[in-house]
Amino acid sequence: MEKDMKKLNPVVYSKLLLQAEEAKDRDMVKLAAALMNTIGPVPEDERVSYNFNELQTDVYQGLWKMAACVIKYHDLQSVDAEKVHEVLESFASKLIEEVEQSLSVDNTQVGPLEDNVPGETK
């Protein structure tokens, strides 16, 4: 697991681990491997702040890693990074929105791991 990868809380970690094991039992190898690679070996021990800007940055950087796979696949000798940047930036926002919808998350609410603003209590 990458050192900068965000860890999941213990509750969702355990649930995803069980789903990965079930996927493996059902010969859904691609899903099982993706889940195991994503959740890593251990859940997060404590709540760590994680704001929307960090989410956007992490998704964008992850998309660059995927874009590198496409570049590698086509064995390109040259890439216009600014064009790729524009596509990935737009796709990152759309991806976050669509994943939030699939998770039934109200994306109009501030995430629970956002830092408190002065005077705010959670």
Tens digits of residue pLDDT in 33-42: 999 888 877 7
Long-range contacts of 95-102 (CB under 8 A, 24+ apart): 95/59, 95/63, 96/55, 96/56, 96/59
CA distance linking residue 110 with residue 122, whole number of Å: 11
CA distance linking residue 12 with residue 114, whole number of Å: 18
CA distance linking residue 50 with residue 67, whole number of Å: 25
- What predicted TM-score, i.e. pTM, was given to this entire model? 0.77
**Whole-number pLDDT of residue 1:** 39
Q: 29 pLDDT exceeds 60?
A: yes
pLDDT > 90 in the chain, percent: 61
